[in-house]
């Protein structure tokens, strides 16, 4: 946190090239995929680690080999009730290995077998083992390594406890309005804004999400007539640890069922195939609870080898113990809870929204990749794949914008060349602009006062 604090202390500037709202996997990966010369502001409502990305337990899917493509594609489509955007699904799967390679260069560690090969796991509705994991804390492993990389980049300023409260826009997006950690309201301008504010779990009484993740981007988008898509496609996870206490629900990863966990009613009877897609399992649990007149069912993994399950799920084991349940000896109480939003701000496969210069990535965006229901472990992957594509598009637009600016300058030039004072001013502006484009930090420090 030290360096983050230093960067927080940096003075907030009025303009940046790119503003990224949210420090989950999608926001961080967008920032890291942009050129090191671009001046980037990242803001987050809470501490930098407090994102849903950090909480991901199960893992991240990947195309293991070319032969698995059609099966992975079909699993994603079937889980999504064939409402998925096929192009998005194709792009996600085809880009998955490059994304994993990139994560490895950032120091992310995935579990391996004794022979050094990846130890793939499986979750509900996947027809094979194709999920990479780091124990049962994959999200923490990925997100903490991305945060560490961001801390190394002097071009990225991160402001914690800073909330986006509005967009600045006319016919295109010009920046955002923020509420700072001290409660002041400020306008911050940029060439591009990226919304990476996650989903809407904070609006629900029972959710596995952080309570501060309340879908602010969607309300702001609606106010600015930015199109949303499928905002009602909300995933209810079948198995959160049942609790009467208030607050975030602890997720019991699908991997427990993938590894042989069994769902039982109060009579100890199994009532559903545990590896069916999430929405089907959730509906079966709800029906069973209604039939029994209860508010939870049980997940039993006590028949599995205790040492192995503790080693495989150390975090979940610990958390269950804290709540008074030892999953090696007894079935644990579970109930469905809001978990994920498949819909969101409508984007193309490059993260562009319906408002020029406004992008959306991660859970905030809807490119149709999940259709009506997300396949387990596809969301971290989707967040990273489309974050990197959005970054690519932002760079392209930045270059185009620069070319357009230069064209305008050249057009003006012919009419003012004869006028000495106008020409001197024009030449001066052209040079400042070019220096600023190459090195905005240097420009702000050394050239701005001559402007």
Ligand X SMILES: Cc1cc2nc3c(=O)[nH]c(=O)nc-3n(C[C@H](O)[C@H](O)[C@H](O)COP(=O)(O)OP(=O)(O)OC[C@H]3O[C@@H](n4cnc5c(N)ncnc54)[C@H](O)[C@@H]3O)c2cc1C
Nearer to ligand X by Cβ, of 121 and 265: the residue is 121
Minimum distance, C-beta of residue 56 to ligand X, in the bound complex (Å): 3
Q: Tell which one of 26, 146, 234, 297 touches ligand X (CB under 6 A).
A: 26
The DSSP 8-state label assigned to residue 443 in this structure reads I
Nearer to ligand X by Cβ, of 21 and 443: the residue is 21
Contact between 22 and ligand X per CB under 6 A: yes
Nearer to ligand X by Cβ, of 45 and 357: the residue is 45
Question: What does each C-alpha distance from 273 to 125, 351, 374 come to in angstroms?
Answer: 11, 36, 18
Q: Is 90 a catalytic residue?
A: no
Nearer to ligand X by Cβ, of 38 and 194: the residue is 194
Q: Tell which one of 76, 121, 157, 163 touches ligand X (CB under 6 A).
A: 163
Contact between 43 and ligand X per CB under 6 A: yes
User: Which sign, positive or negative, has the C-alpha torsion 42, 45, 48, 53?
Assistant: negative
Nearer to ligand X by Cβ, of 371 and 443: the residue is 371
Start-to-end Cα distance in the chain: 36
Q: Tell me the window of 70-78, 207-215, 425-433, 434-442 that interacts with ligand X (CB under 6 A).
A: 207-215
Per annotation, catalytic residue among 278, 312, 374, 389: 278
Nearer to ligand X by Cβ, of 24 and 238: the residue is 24
Contact between 52 and ligand X per CB under 6 A: yes
Length of the chain: 451
**Residue 386 near residue 367, CB atoms below 8 Å:** yes
Q: Environment class of residue 225 by beta-carbon count within 10 Å: exposed (0-12), middle (13-18) or buried (19+)?
A: exposed
Q: Tell me the window of 20-28, 66-74, 276-284, 401-409 that interacts with ligand X (CB under 6 A).
A: 20-28
**Residue 66 near residue 233, CB atoms below 8 Å:** no
Half-sphere exposure of 250 (CA within 13 A, CB side): 18
Q: Where are the alpha helices (DSSP H) in 167-270?
A: 216-223, 255-258
Q: Environment class of residue 177 by beta-carbon count within 10 Å: exposed (0-12), middle (13-18) or buried (19+)?
A: middle
Scanning residues 218 to 257, which ones bind ligand X (CB under 6 A)?
Answer: 251
Scanning residues 178 to 197, which ones bind ligand X (CB under 6 A)?
Answer: 196-197
Reduce the DSSP state of residue 104 to 3 states and report it: helix
Minimum distance, C-beta of residue 201 to ligand X, in the bound complex (Å): 7
Q: Tell which one of 18, 20, 24, 236 touches ligand X (CB under 6 A).
A: 24
Q: Tell which one of 124, 175, 198, 343 touches ligand X (CB under 6 A).
A: 198
- In angstroms, the CA 9 to CA 307 distance is 47
- In angstroms, the CA 373 to CA 386 distance is 18
- In angstroms, the CA 171 to CA 99 distance is 34
Q: Tell which one of 30, 85, 88, 209 touches ligand X (CB under 6 A).
A: 209
Minimum distance, C-beta of residue 159 to ligand X, in the bound complex (Å): 9
Residues annotated as catalytic are 278
Which residues contribute to the site for ligand X (CB under 6 A)? 21-27, 43-46, 50-53, 55-60, 138-139, 163-164, 196-198, 208-209, 212-213, 216, 251, 340, 362-364, 377-380, 383
């Amino acid at each position: 946190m030290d360096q983050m604090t230093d960067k927080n202390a940096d003075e907030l500037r009025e303009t940046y090239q790119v503003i990224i709202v949210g420090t989950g996997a999608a926001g961080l990966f967008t920032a890291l995929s942009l050129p090191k010369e671009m001046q980037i502001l990242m803001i987050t409502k809470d501490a930098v680690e407090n994102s849903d990305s950090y909480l991901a337990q199960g893992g991240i899917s990947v195309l293991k080999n070319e032969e698995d493509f059609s099966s992975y594609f079909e699993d994603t489509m079937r889980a999504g009730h064939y409402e998925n955007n096929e192009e998005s699904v194709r792009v996600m799967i085809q880009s998955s290995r490059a994304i994993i390679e990139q994560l490895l260069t950032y120091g992310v560690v995935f579990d391996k077998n004794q022979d050094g090969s990846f130890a793939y796991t499986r979750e509900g509705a996947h027809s094979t083992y194709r999920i990479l994991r780091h124990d049962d804390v994959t999200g923490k492993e990925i997100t903490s390594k991305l945060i560490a990389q961001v801390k190394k980049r002097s071009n990225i300023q991160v402001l914690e406890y800073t909330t986006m409260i509005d967009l600045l826009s006319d016919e295109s997006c010009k920046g955002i309005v923020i509420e700072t950690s001290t409660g002041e309201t400020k306008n911050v301008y940029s060439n591009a804004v990226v919304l990476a504010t996650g989903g809407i779990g904070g609006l629900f009484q029972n959710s596995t999400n952080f309570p501060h993740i309340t879908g602010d981007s969607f309300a702001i988008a609606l106010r600015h007539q930015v199109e949303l898509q499928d905002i009602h496609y909300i995933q209810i996870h079948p198995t959160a640890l049942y609790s009467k206490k208030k607050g975030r629900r602890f997720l019991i990863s699908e991997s427990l069922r993938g590894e042989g966990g069994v769902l039982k009613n109060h009579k100890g009877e199994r009532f559903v195939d545990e590896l069916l897609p999430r929405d089907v399992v959730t509906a079966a649990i709800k029906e069973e609870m209604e039939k029994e007149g209860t508010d939870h069912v049980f997940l039993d993994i006590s028949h599995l080898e205790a040492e192995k399950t503790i080693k495989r799920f150390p975090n979940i084991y610990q958390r269950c113990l804290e709540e008074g349940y030892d999953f090696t000896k007894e079935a644990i109480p579970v109930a469905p809870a809001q978990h994920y939003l498949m819909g969101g701000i409508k984007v193309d496969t490059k993260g562009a929204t319906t408002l020029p210069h406004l992008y959306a990535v991660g859970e905030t965006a809807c490119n149709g990749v999940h259709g009506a229901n997300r396949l387990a472990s596809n969301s971290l992957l989707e967040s990273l794949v489309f974050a990197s594509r959005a970054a690519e598009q932002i760079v392209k637009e930045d270059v185009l914008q620069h070319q357009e600016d230069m064209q305008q300058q050249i057009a003006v030039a012919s009419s003012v060349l004869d006028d000495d004072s106008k020409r001197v001013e024009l030449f001066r502006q052209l040079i400042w602009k070019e220096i600023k484009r190459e090195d905005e930090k240097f420009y702000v420090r050394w050239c701005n006062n001559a402007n």
